[in-house]
Chain A
Amino acid sequence: MRGRNRISSAVIAMLGLGIGAGAWPLDAPGGDAANGKRLFLAIGCFECHGRVGQGGYFNYQTPTLAHTALPLEGFRVLVRMGLNDMPAYKEQVLSDHDLADIHAYLRSLPGPRPVKDIPQLNP
């Protein structure tokens, strides 16, 4: 239990840095986003995070992943270890190469649009 908490804290710290004020440089594009999309749908990521990374709801809200600023290494640690209710994806079911492709897919997804451009969100 204690060990897992330490790992989770490390992952959280990494996630926080990645999303924060640009302390981590964005990775150079390298993965195959098309293959990443195929994998994202095939291995169940979309069930919690939505097909276009919009986030969702499991036992609580699940994170948005579209246009993630999380660097590949942080993403890899998170996926390998899992976080909160997220199951861990080990190397035996998801290679580092495939993991990089998923990361590329998420990076390719558009993030939020300006709310003012959408009348239905401006009642």
Chain B
Amino acid sequence: MVDVLKTLDLEYLAMNPASNFRGVHEAVINYGMNARPEILTCAHEEIAFSMAQGYAKIEGKPMAVICHGTVGLQHGAMALYNAWCDRVPIYAMIGNIVDADKRLQIFEWTHSAIDPAALVRDFVKWDDQPASLQHFAESAMRAYKIAVTPPMGPVLLSLDAELQENPIPDRDRLRIPALTRVIPSVGDSAALAEAARYLVAADNPVLICDRMARTADGMTRMVELAEALQCAVVDMGGRMNFPSRHPLNQTGSRVAVIAQADVILAIEMNDLFAATHFLSDRIERATRPLYKPDTRIITLGSRDLFIKSNYQDFGRFNAVDMAIAGDAEASLPALTEQVRRLINARRKTALDARGKQLADAHHSLTEQIRSSATIGWDARPITTARLCAELYAQIQHEDWSLVGTGINVTWPMRLWNFDKPYSWNGSSGGSGLGYNAPASAGAALANKRHGRLSVAIQGDGDLLYVPSTLWTAAHHRIPILYVMHNNRAYNQEYMYLQAMTNRHNRGVTNAHLGTTITDPNVDFATVAKGFGVYAEGPISDPADLGPALQRAVAVVKRGEPALVDVLTDQR
């Protein structure tokens, strides 16, 4: 089994130790010499799976995770669901004792199941429970191939304890098949040519992208298409798709540019409906399109190629004029080439004029945003705008990577210069709390070898799900700066509950009940120190924030994790 894992070149194996994969565990450390894969010790399976999700998005390949087939998988299921929703490959394995005749004490019965993968089958791409080592070798290759083929997703193998532990009687007969990766599909050439004609002829085409960039080339391809068209780009932020300061980036004016669009090309969208509609979540939920009735909508992506039914992460059905199936990153060069062929000198003059207008709009909005960031500059609790500005002031000259944020990505994206493929690492996918801290650590682990400075803006509610992530970061010397956005509340829920109290016009002063994290206040710096992490805070005076961040950055640059607890306003 370890030979197979080494063939797959899995760099890490994240785990919380458990008896029913003790065979693989021992083989990894003693036969495999704890290298490729190297064990990452986690104090909760949710941390292991989330680390794998964050790692895969930076590194571009899966991390392996192993856990108990029953109790461990139940702990980890939430994180596996996030990865599924985020279309991220995770190489998951679980232990099981298939043969009832081999189960001894009661815990081996409670830790066994007929079909342990059934628990998560709705949100993994593929699973298997191999009956022999040869079966394992072949399924292991198949699982990897499926996981990394767009649309990507987690896969799961259930490993029988007998298969893990017993002597191998027929070693010479076993073989490890070669792994051949599937070449991502390119959209139909005729359809791409038709899309190009619509885009070039349009007065106000708009490109909307979400989980588009899956490799370091993705952002470049997106820029090439946008610059050929000199059109507006709206980046929904599922991946690092488009530079934040590119003059064609009109994300901050999403509503306005979609309202003016005559052609929309929606690329690898997670939720096209939400991106193109006004959603009112006030009393009665209501929606209306942002686009005009005659706006032509074209989709390009792999989302239509693989969807499951139970969990509704595919979003609301949105009628479109053309749906091109194919991996967008693989398809964009062909589309861009078609676009370039259609642009003559006269058309180029018109497109350049449009580009100039968009650049002016981008500049005006940027100035307006910087002005908005000054409001409450010296306020206590510290505003999120100041937190982001102070943090950027400390890292802007480093090779930084924002690996996670608990405040949405709006302030950083509006104030910082995101221009590298690793500048941003996307969000959770399933919006399940407990993602940000461990996924950021996993991403920071991937950034480590490149010498990048990983920073995460960390929500207090999220960290309380998975605080021992800090121990794992300290134990494995993962350099990452956690800057706490400590607003002492589950603020999204706080706002939702406020709306409910208003709906009934009663108890409008009670929305803090069940939504705030006070009395006692959590001392996150002390918590972090207890896990062996350098920490400062809580910082309440905004004047103290810059120096504290500067000291913490120095710690991270030495190769260690650090945490600065900042008392912030709500958002």
Binding site for B on A (CB under 8 A): 1, 42-44, 46-48, 50-59, 61-62, 64, 66, 82, 84-90, 92-94, 110-115, 118-121, 123
Indicate whether A59 sits within 8 Å of B279 (C-beta atoms), given known contacts A47-B498, A112-B374: yes
| Closest CB pairs A-B (n = 6) | A87-B502, A56-B571, A52-B376, A54-B376, A44-B498, A54-B375
- Taking CB as reference atom, which chain A residue is nearest B386? A120
Indicate whether A85 sits within 8 Å of B499 (C-beta atoms), given known contacts A43-B508, A54-B376, A64-B375: yes
- Chain A contacts of B367 at CB under 8 A? 115
Interface string of B396-433 (1 = CB under 8 A from A): 10000000000110100001000000000000000000
**Minimal beta-carbon separation of B358 from chain A (angstroms):** 20
Binding site for A on B (CB under 8 A): 279-283, 286, 367, 370-377, 379, 381, 383-386, 389-390, 392-393, 396, 407-408, 410, 415, 491-492, 494-495, 498-499, 501-503, 505-506, 508-509, 511, 546, 569-571
**Minimal beta-carbon separation of B39 from chain A (angstroms):** 39
Complex A-B: 22 CB contacts under 8 Å:
A1-B286, A44-B501, A44-B508, A47-B494, A47-B495, A47-B498, A47-B570, A51-B376, A51-B379, A52-B376, A54-B375, A54-B569, A57-B408, A57-B410, A62-B571, A85-B282, A89-B508, A90-B502, A93-B502, A113-B375, A120-B392, A123-B392
- Chain A contacts of B376 at CB under 8 A? 50-54, 66
**Minimal beta-carbon separation of A92 from chain B (angstroms):** 5
Tell whether, in the assembled complex, residue A42 and residue B509 are in contact, meaning their CB atoms are under 8 Å apart.
yes
Tell whether, in the assembled complex, residue B282 and residue A82 are in contact, meaning their CB atoms are under 8 Å apart.
yes
**Minimal beta-carbon separation of B334 from chain A (angstroms):** 35
Indicate whether A115 sits within 8 Å of B374 (C-beta atoms), given known contacts A1-B286, A47-B498: yes
Tell whether, in the assembled complex, residue A53 and residue B375 are in contact, meaning their CB atoms are under 8 Å apart.
yes
Indicate whether A113 sits within 8 Å of B509 (C-beta atoms), given known contacts A51-B379, A120-B389, A123-B396: no
- Chain A contacts of B281 at CB under 8 A? 59, 85
Tell whether, in the assembled complex, residue B508 and residue A51 are in contact, meaning their CB atoms are under 8 Å apart.
no
Q: For chains A and B in complex, what number of residue pairs have CB atoms within 8 angstroms?
A: 129
Indicate whether A51 sits within 8 Å of B381 (C-beta atoms), given known contacts A86-B282, A88-B502, A120-B389: yes
**Minimal beta-carbon separation of A16 from chain B (angstroms):** 15
Indicate whether A87 sits within 8 Å of B370 (C-beta atoms), given known contacts A57-B571, A120-B390: no
Tell whether, in the assembled complex, residue B502 and residue A64 are in contact, meaning their CB atoms are under 8 Å apart.
no
Indicate whether A120 sits within 8 Å of B569 (C-beta atoms), given known contacts A48-B495, A64-B372, A86-B282: no
- Taking CB as reference atom, which chain B residue is nearest A123? B396
**Minimal beta-carbon separation of B244 from chain A (angstroms):** 13
Tell whether, in the assembled complex, residue A87 and residue B371 are in contact, meaning their CB atoms are under 8 Å apart.
no
- Chain B contacts of A61 at CB under 8 A? 410
Tell whether, in the assembled complex, residue B375 and residue A66 are in contact, meaning their CB atoms are under 8 Å apart.
yes
Interface centre among B375, B384, B415, B502 (most CB of A within 10 A): B375
